[in-house]
Structure 1
């Protein structure tokens, strides 16, 4: 009897909480509405940089663990750059290697340090060690900027020259066009490839045009030496997100250069992909916990709560009217960039699942226990799939109040959520169509049959991300290397590009 009273009480409050549920949904839609502008800008615009007047001195940082299969090809692509060789120094840290990665790196002209530390295993720790060694042997500030690449990357011949154009314009942190060297190897690799291009079109291009801060994505980026003048402190599972949050908090623009292209190898094994996505998800949650409150305060209080200061204080004692106006504009830009980054870090999938379980699944089922089910349409929903099927036929159910209504209500709630996800899966396929059309010049030549297959399988990428986020809430995740074995060279890619042109 006591249990039934609880069900009755929960059911009686359902309609009130359902209204709250709907209001929260509308608020989230409003909060995210500006991203539609990103999509629109990304179709037509990206930031352009004038040819540099000065050639700057750079160091390239590569953290490699057992990368004998690919690191030589990366170093070859660096050695083929059209940028002055005397202004590029390549550093490799062979991190806990059991193969001849270090030997290959030195053979290809890189300065290689070897690190053995089985306790501190992340890429961030390897970069921290490498920058410590550079500080001891060369001085970190002897270079004007630092590039970070993964060992499986390949660079277009003009990559550093194009990035130098952006750096010479005064930008301090620049990311670049992440293409895929094994796009057509299988459907798993293709989902990653489409995701990176989606990020470019839906985030990077618009943020660069609006002078906001886009996000760093692990590899293929350049930053000014002032950022590591005191060393590298980002050693979590996802060091790129921590660096992004710090940079945004301090008011840095993280810009994007569409003309600087590099190529990345994507996983082809589902097991490896799941392992990587689980690490990303755990790192994302940790970054939200570490930087979320910090960015939230930043929206309202500006730089008052900065944890790390890279820049010297350059405040003027006597400000002109122009200085005041520019300061206000910069404050607005900085706060919005903090807001944008906070939304990017927020695990909305977790919050959405939690409120669905509490309000729709549990409270809704209790409501049906009290009041019964009255003509619920099993094809309800706002997706194109739901609307299309409702035009053809209708399936409605009704159940009298009682325990049957409670259990059928639960089953119905689960079905409607799955049905909604099916509809969103189909709608998400249009992202792949969009990518294949608008980025056709940059995508590797492949058959139409493969494009159709990859369009159909592409939405699985977001599904995996959603469920690895749920799993990461409860799992202890450790950093494990991702194996790379692609034999593709920059010459192979150049040949493919020439074949497409002709």
Structure 2
């Protein structure tokens, strides 16, 4: 009984803390204006890092988008690592006049290893030291024309690491891509924006972020290789007192999976990756939170805590104890019912947030009102699928696998100009 009581107390404290934090973030996002940064004092020199595996069809769109930016083009160099490619990715990049290095390693698979290889190569060539900061993009991304100018404002405002506004380029394709799109809208509007207003660090999301030369040197290039290397990188920044900024005005478009099986595997990999990060860093994160009284550490603790998995294990342990005769089955049935009620409440909250996000960020969504209504109604299915995914993550060992991209774009000022050219 004592074990179960302690677990219940722990889950109640963590769950209440996470709920309060979310409510505070929502209120801050609704009542306060996003943080605005002054014009940058000077233009910095940037390197764009792209890990690409068989991306010959979509890379030209990304490169055209970057080259259509209003930032001085002589201060932007694009470096692509063609990672275990079997197509003409390397040749396509070379034909476009950009830097490309090829990597062939069937043992160390994943974006983290590819970025390590690329930065190590740049340092060996003596090229890395000439840049003030490094951007990380995926091959299927494209950006608005003022992207680098806006990111540079936040960078020069004193943030060594900066992440941007991320939204789906194929939001209106189907209910799966819109589910991811709504999820990212919520992260941007009700999490990262509020973090900046409150003075906490933002969370990088795998693509569309930058880090300074000093951060690169501190990490001796790139040394993050878990399945969620972005979460590991962000956590490392918090533990080292490095503030992560968020730029609401720098918009990045990212292609989302359109098949549910692809989305399932992607989110399963992320869930396993978050469990890895929690296992390796939870102790250090809690210690840092207590010692430094760092709200960013508290934020990341609540963000990474595997609530669903913890509740599932609590219920399993409860029924095991009931089978051994230590407690009654009826008491554990009530715990299960309470958990289900909590899940339904969470689903309703997320559905309300989905509607609110779509209203507040309507100008960033490429979909008709009718489609948007349907996507909001289908979002609970997307959201609730995270429950079995989080449970399966306890026993799964997924490997990094590339997702085939269609190169689908929406019309922005940058890609329309590139097409006319």
Aligned twin of 1:31: 17
CA distance in 2, matches of 1:453, 1:355: 36
Q: Is contact 1:433-1:455 (8 Å) kept?
A: yes
> How many angstroms does 1:139 deviate by?
3.2
1:348 to 288, 307, 315: 307
1:292 to 282, 288, 302: 282
Residues 54-63 or 28-37, more deviating: 28-37
CA distance in 2, matches of 1:345, 1:426: 22
Aligned twin of 1:487: 408
Cα–Cα, structure 1 residues 490 and 167, in superposed 2: closer, same or farther, change >3 Å?
farther
The residue matched to 2:374 in structure 1 has which SS? helix
Q: Does 1:108 align with 2:96?
A: yes
CA distance in 2, matches of 1:129, 1:55: 28
The residue matched to 1:459 in structure 2 has which SS? helix
Aligned twin of 2:356: 434
Cα–Cα, structure 1 residues 103 and 449, in superposed 2: closer, same or farther, change >3 Å?
same
Q: Does 1:51 align with 2:39?
A: yes
CA distance in 1, matches of 2:273, 2:3: 32
Q: Does 1:216 align with 2:204?
A: yes
Could you give the per-residue CA deviations for residues 283-316 of structure 1, whole angstroms, max 9, x where no partner exists?
11101111111111212334xxxxxxxxxxxxxx
Max radius of gyration: which structure? 1
Q: Does 1:448 align with 2:369?
A: yes
Cα–Cα, structure 1 residues 250 and 19, in superposed 2: closer, same or farther, change >3 Å?
closer
TM-score of the superposed pair, with normalisation by structure 1: 0.77
Cα–Cα, structure 1 residues 202 and 491, in superposed 2: closer, same or farther, change >3 Å?
closer
CA distance in 1, matches of 2:325, 2:189: 44
Q: Is contact 2:347-2:383 (8 Å) kept?
A: no
> How many angstroms does 1:427 deviate by?
3.8
Aligned twin of 1:393: none
Q: Does 1:425 align with 2:347?
A: yes
Q: Does 1:147 align with 2:101?
A: no
Q: Is contact 1:362-1:410 (8 Å) kept?
A: no
Q: Does 1:472 align with 2:389?
A: no
CA distance in 1, matches of 2:60, 2:184: 24
State how many pairs are aligned.
412
Cα–Cα, structure 1 residues 81 and 264, in superposed 2: closer, same or farther, change >3 Å?
same
> How many angstroms does 1:26 deviate by?
4.0
Q: Is contact 1:198-1:431 (8 Å) kept?
A: yes
Residues 471-480 or 350-359, more deviating: 350-359
Cα–Cα, structure 1 residues 116 and 249, in superposed 2: closer, same or farther, change >3 Å?
same
Could you give the per-residue CA deviations for residues 309-353 of structure 1, whole angstroms, max 9, x where no partner exists?
xxxxxxxxxxxxxxxxxxxxxxx4xx2211221221111111122
CA distance in 2, matches of 1:167, 1:368: 58
> How many angstroms does 1:170 deviate by?
2.0
Aligned twin of 1:244: 234
CA distance in 2, matches of 1:124, 1:457: 33
Q: Is contact 1:155-1:490 (8 Å) kept?
A: no
Aligned twin of 1:275: 265
Gapped regions of structure 2 (runs ≥ 5): 417-421
The residue matched to 1:484 in structure 2 has which SS? coil
CA distance in 2, matches of 1:231, 1:452: 45
Q: RMSD over aligned Cα, in angstroms? A: 2.5
The residue matched to 1:458 in structure 2 has which SS? helix
CA distance in 2, matches of 1:77, 1:494: 6
Residue correspondence of structure 1 range 306-325 to structure 2 within 5 A: none
> How many angstroms does 1:17 deviate by?
7.4
Residues 224-233 or 146-155, more deviating: 224-233
2:298 to 332, 335, 339: 339
Could you give the per-residue CA deviations for residues 253-295 of structure 1, whole angstroms, max 9, x where no partner exists?
1110100001000000111111111110111110111111111
Residues 124-133 or 424-433, more deviating: 424-433
2:381 to 460, 464, 467: 460
Q: Is contact 2:321-2:327 (8 Å) kept?
A: no
2:112 to 119, 124, 127: 124
Cα–Cα, structure 1 residues 21 and 96, in superposed 2: closer, same or farther, change >3 Å?
closer
> How many angstroms does 1:368 deviate by?
12
Cα–Cα, structure 1 residues 243 and 25, in superposed 2: closer, same or farther, change >3 Å?
closer
Q: Is contact 1:277-1:464 (8 Å) kept?
A: no
Residue correspondence of structure 1 range 12-23 to structure 2 within 5 A: 23=9
CA distance in 2, matches of 1:492, 1:165: 21
Aligned twin of 1:40: 27
CA distance in 2, matches of 1:192, 1:366: 43
Q: Does 1:196 align with 2:219?
A: no
CA distance in 2, matches of 1:413, 1:351: 13
Q: Does 1:88 align with 2:10?
A: no
